[in-house]
Structure 1
């Protein structure tokens, strides 16, 4: 079964993050940077999948690299991005020129942004190379709280889809941490890897299950009720894992992308958990997301200056039904 791939070129821009819109079924955003994010400026792209390919809806330039992006969960036109200059920018697809607002409290690169999904809550969390995470209201006027505890760069901050005021963070210090925003404390610190952790994500169907991806080339699934060892350790990548994502449609299916140029799909409930390895990039794969509206559709982006949309054969073959 051949996999159809639609690609969009991002000339002289190296992709760091992609996220599909929670409102518009075939829309996605990509945060990209010049010169692999080491120097130069950044570009934020809003793209639509069409019958024949991928078209650009809007793009904005920023004076420093852009490393992550998240859509608003309350307004289909609004996005937040994290920059190399320590800033968060709030963008509106109806505003062609400048961000709605810019907040610059972090003292180093903002590598992670996420928008809360729990009902009645509307918050943004950011994670930075300055070792702190900050929680914001969507106006970004001033951070509501700053959370300290990590002893290394924070690469990933992800809200719990289940528990209000709770997010997880992954760091270069090798720990996965779970935070309670209301009390401004770390509730749990998991020594998840003996190497830097570049990404984490929550299971959409179980509030106790998270996944981590590390420089040690392993993907680990954790149950917060017993953190002595992972529920599953998924091996196969040959270089650092840059991003991990749980499927929104299947409880035990997840995806990982890596500096080994591949995207891998896993079902950790199986004896042979690796479902498929997709090799369609020629550089580090940094951004990865599942489409919330189109079952099993995946988007990714790479330092090879492309964004790709596809449905991997291992998921489209009907072997994975919706979550129990």
Structure 2
């Protein structure tokens, strides 16, 4: 099914958070009904930020914990070995380690970046517990959350870094996307870049790894180029889109959210890859996550001060 969809979904669970503009959401890898959302005041330009820990039930979304920080929070990642632990990053160049079992926090603050930190990700491969962060200071840092300092710093990008994400297949391997129009693949065993891909003629705001193919990635600005030369055309033509994510359940299905206020679902194995367009926000849609527990459940957040969980019709029968 293709085209705009106003209905056709199951009931949407929504929470409005006045004065907080959503930047990132992530489902808990442990608790099916739990969600974390990183938010900022005044669209992240000035003011503080709030980390929201949400639980969903029949009546909607409820706040379980709320942690304030003195600058906007731009990304959040759950620990892969402790259901209570998260890491966020913020506009003051810091990373924060939080414990949802405690009402106050953070447990630790990591300060090495010199400008905004826009991306954090917790490694998913066995045998390592590492966090990677990408900053507007043009560096990527890898952290062991039990250690106060970063383990290593990676340099090479020539502009701000918007996205950093671990490979789900290869230990110690991660990708980064930058305003310098390149996607880069790194390895913690070396301090230099392994692969530089001049992917586009404009800034790259997001990248992700396919969960089913270790050599396939996506790094889209106005289009999406894949390592196996598959190309999606016509993605969010009105505005740059903010984030792209592969499905954890279907090898050829992806979702994207955009500055055109929409969330879109794609199947790049089809001649017409656009499956569905969801239009339920009234501002930039910056955060998006596909549930690891349910093959149809999606969460997103927007600058319109809302967080939503829903089941788009296209994910029920993605083939």
With normalisation by structure 2, the TM-score equals: 0.96
- Residue in 1 aligned with 2:235? 236
Alignment-derived partner of residue 221 in structure 1:
226
SS in 2 for 1:145: strand
Structure 2 unaligned segments of length 5 or more: list them.
1-6
Pairing 1:32-111 to 2, within 5 Å after superposition: 32-111=39-118
Does residue 265 of structure 2 align to residue 265 of structure 1? Answer: yes
Matches within 5 A, 1:1-324: 2-3=8-9, 4-214=11-221, 217-223=222-228, 230-237=229-236, 238-316=238-316, 318-320=317-319
RMSD: 1.0
Ranked by relative contact order (alpha carbons within 8 Å, sequence separation 6 or more), the top structure is 2
Q: Which runs of 5 or more residues in structure 1 are unaligned? A: 224-229
SS state at 1:222 partner: coil
Match of 1:227? none
Cα distance between partner residues in 2 of 1:58 and 1:22:
17
Q: Provide, for residues 200-249 of structure 1, a one-character-per-residue CA deviation record: whole Å limited to 9, x for no partner.
A: 000000000001121xx2233233xxxxxx42133130101100100000
The Cα offsets for residues 242-277 of structure 1, whole Å up to 9 and x where unpaired, read as 001000000010011100000110001100000001
Q: Distance in 2 between matches of 1:301 and 1:140?
A: 31
Moved more, 176-185 or 102-111: 176-185
Could you tell me how far apart the structure 1 residues matched to 2:98 and 2:23 are? 17
1:8 and 1:185 map into 2 onto residues whose CA distance is: 43
With normalisation by structure 1, the TM-score equals 0.94
Q: Name 2:3's counterpart in structure 1.
A: none
In structure 2, do the counterparts of structure 1 residues 140 and 255 end up closer, same or farther at CA, with 3 Å as the change threshold?
farther
4+ aligned runs moved over 6 Å, structure 1: none
Q: Give, in whole Å, the separation in 2 of the partners of 1:243 and 1:319.
A: 20
1:71-122 deviation line (CA, Å, top 9, x unaligned): 0000000000001000000000012112010011000000000000001111
